[in-house]
Amino acid sequence: MGEPNIHELFMVQIMRTSEIVQHRIAVVLKDYELTPPQYNILRILRGAEGDLSVGEIKKRMLFETSDVSRLLDRLVKKGLANRNICPNNRRKMDVCISKIGVQVLDKLYGELAQTLNGFYEEALSKEKAQEIMEVLQRIVASEPKVLENQNN
């Protein structure tokens, strides 16, 4: 048996790290009765300049999901988001974050920062975190090239 492939080992470590981070986030979100995809949608809505269509939200999601409409229904029901009739197409509904949604995110950001900063600060310095983030950004930026190479 040969030496392990360093890129494969790197990928496995990214996957393990992702699981740990997702678990820590899910624990905090549970107190707010939110799922990670619902949190993702709230972040997207907060960062948007105005209302967004369901299709636009889908494009911006961190992870692909087909049930964005149901996730939005739950957020609207909880009072965290609002549906508005699209001014250009009265048959279409757009979505925005509500004032309550903004307040919940503000609290969440503080708790998540505290939880994750403690986790990261134990493991690495800010400088090392910046360095790793730059490497991960390069990997993400190269994704279209990777997918293109797989199709050829």
Would 36 be classed as within a structural domain?
Answer: yes
Residues 13-67: pLDDT tens digits? 999 988 988 999 999 999 999 999 999 999 999 999 889 988 899 988 887 777 9
For residue 8, is pLDDT > 80?
yes
User: How many domains are there within the chain?
Assistant: 1
Would you list the DSSP string of the chain? --PPPHHHHHHHHHHHHHHHHHHHHHHHHHTTT--HHHHHHHHHHHHSSS-B-HHHHHHH-SS--S-HHHHHHHHHHTTSEEEEE-SS-TT-EEEEE-HHHHHHHHHHHHHHHHHHHHHHHHH--HHHHHHHHHHHHHHHHTHHHHHHHHH-
Give me the CATH number covering residue 95.
1.10.10.10
Can you give the pTM of this predicted structure?
A: 0.79
Element (H, E) at 78: none
Nearest to 80 by CA among 106, 54, 114: 106
SS3 for 145? helix
Beta-carbon contacts of residue 119 (< 8 Å; ≥ 6 apart): 20, 21, 24
pLDDT at 1: 60
pLDDT at 89: 73
Would 115 be classed as within a structural domain?
Answer: yes
Q: pLDDT band for position 150 (50/70/90)?
A: very low
Residues 61-87: pLDDT tens digits? 887 777 999 999 999 999 999 998 877
Full residue range of the structural domain in which residue 76 is found: 15-147
124 DSSP assignment: -
Would 152 be classed as within a structural domain?
Answer: no
Would 8 be classed as within a structural domain?
Answer: no
Residues 104-146: pLDDT tens digits? 999 999 999 888 887 777 788 889 889 999 998 998 888 765 4
Would 2 be classed as within a structural domain?
Answer: no
- Mean predicted confidence (pLDDT) in 92-106: 93
- Mean predicted confidence (pLDDT) in 94-102: 95
